[in-house]
Structure 1
């Protein structure tokens, strides 16, 4: 028995890179997998999702991956994005009569204006990320198993408590209908005694009410 809620962390550190992965899970009917990846790791998303799906089958799963590479990283320009930005600036100048030149620092800070080359992710680096994900999944599974064991023990304790009180519950359930009949009769008598009415109690109707309550309060199915 496993809990649906859990947390796991895995880390891998090598000479040229360091990776840390955190995975959080909560209950969900289906597998809802969300990976938080830096733009330079997007090419690994498919493989990482398949890896996680071999270990988890349901629940909302949030995966956070942080990485640092100590070796030189080769960047390339996102030319279409930068060209579109500069074209928009030029149109802005022409339409509103503005002056000024594009700021290189601003362009460099544009999201995805500089990207790592698609082939710049070394095999060792990709393997390190997968290893960190597996370590995080291992820790997650241990936590879920531990919480599941605690839940199981709590359930067994509650079942034991129910079994202890079951004979008393069964005994008292047999007198429910009679006790209700007595209370209902007494209440009607009290109401009639406070009025001058000579109305007589309809015993058939009273029996119907008692039978209805007896059916509603029947717990035979619940205690067997």
Structure 2
């Protein structure tokens, strides 16, 4: 059971006269990167929410947005008494300086003096409902990431089946390659030897043995089979929303790629070369999909 790093979650909750809306989405990222957009009245919650989110999500770029309806999210409010005093002072200044331009509302509102911090004594009552809404949204996100993870799991398993099929065919090519090499070597030597001179069978056997040693791929095939078993185990494991399985899968894919490169370097015939090309193509497809796995 794999979790994708891509997902979307949403939750809404009502508390008294306030409507709390939470939207969270995640995309691929090499680590966990949390970005939050909170109303000013909830700024005190940012550190606590960030710490909690790190216990719920393992990897990816996470964007969380909280909106409140039914409560003012402004951090300042108008001081009417100060505005009246400022208006009177400005009018007096205009008369004294002989300025005929009237004092407008925009003049007053542009002054920092008429604004004061909004009292937010009742804001903490929203904290618990907001945290519940965030938990609901994260649960929705996890379900979304799980659904996509299951689709990725099926796709990876399909590519791995094709890869293993090509690997088994490559293993079946090894005995044929020795027989073909022996026959070609005997025919070539026979064509070069004078008529009536017998070919030294021991010498041919020695050459075939040297070729077999250089072209032996049994170790590579054995290691590749072990890596395939490890990958199948990872694809079928019961992972959690915070477990980083993707990096482990990518490690074994790199190991398989190393074995295929060795097979390709030892390839002496077109059939084996074609099989190694097919295997590298399947590995590339799997690595692209693994980049989406947490």
Q: TM-score interval w.r.t. the shorter chain?
A: 0.5 to 0.7
List 4+ stretches of structure 1 deviating above 6 A. 71-74, 176-180, 210-213
Q: Which has the higher strand share?
A: 1
Question: How much does 1:76 deviate?
Answer: 4.7
Q: Which residue of 1 aligns with 2:122?
A: 120
- Could you say what secondary structure the match of 1:49 adopts? helix
5+ residue gaps in structure 2? 80-100, 182-210, 227-294
Number of residue-to-residue matches in the alignment: 175
Give the Cα separation in 2 of the matches to 1:144 and 1:34: 18
Q: Which residue of 2 aligns with 1:57?
A: 58
Q: Which has the higher helix share?
A: 2
Name the CA shift for 1:74/1:171 in 2 (closer, same or farther; >3 Å). closer
Equivalent residues of 1:16, 1:71 under 8 A apart: no
Name the CA shift for 1:160/1:45 in 2 (closer, same or farther; >3 Å). same
Give the Cα separation in 2 of the matches to 1:215 and 1:161: 23
- Which among 79, 104, 110 is matched to residue 106 of structure 1? 110
Name the CA shift for 1:126/1:9 in 2 (closer, same or farther; >3 Å). same
- Could you say what secondary structure the match of 1:56 adopts? coil
Q: Is 2:163 the counterpart of 1:169? A: no
Q: Which residue of 2 aligns with 1:41?
A: 42
Q: Which residue of 2 aligns with 1:222?
A: 224
Give the Cα separation in 1 of the matches to 2:20 and 2:70: 9
Name the CA shift for 1:222/1:55 in 2 (closer, same or farther; >3 Å). same
Name the CA shift for 1:43/1:172 in 2 (closer, same or farther; >3 Å). same
- Could you say what secondary structure the match of 2:121 adopts? helix
Give the Cα separation in 1 of the matches to 2:172 and 2:73: 79
Residue by residue, what CA displacement relative to the aligned partner does 1:17-71 show, whole Å, maximum 9, x if unpaired? Answer: 0111111112333321111112222122122222322312332211111111258
Question: How much does 1:141 deviate?
Answer: 0.6
Name the CA shift for 1:174/1:19 in 2 (closer, same or farther; >3 Å). farther
Question: How much does 1:3 deviate?
Answer: 0.9
Question: How much does 1:215 deviate?
Answer: 7.5
Q: Which residue of 2 aligns with 1:28?
A: 29
How well do the aligned residues superpose, as a CA RMSD in angstroms?
A: 4.0
Name the CA shift for 1:177/1:140 in 2 (closer, same or farther; >3 Å). farther
Give the Cα separation in 2 of the matches to 1:121 and 1:139: 26
Name the CA shift for 1:122/1:69 in 2 (closer, same or farther; >3 Å). farther
Give the Cα separation in 2 of the matches to 1:177 and 1:36: 67
Q: Is 2:158 the counterpart of 1:157? A: yes
- Could you say what secondary structure the match of 1:3 adopts? coil
Give the Cα separation in 2 of the matches to 1:179 and 1:7: 58
Q: Which residue of 1 aligns with 2:247?
A: none
Q: Which residue of 1 aligns with 2:243?
A: none
Equivalent residues of 1:40, 1:115 under 8 A apart: no
Give the TM-score taking structure 1 as reference length: 0.60
Q: Is 2:7 the counterpart of 1:6? A: yes
- Could you say what secondary structure the match of 1:119 adopts? coil
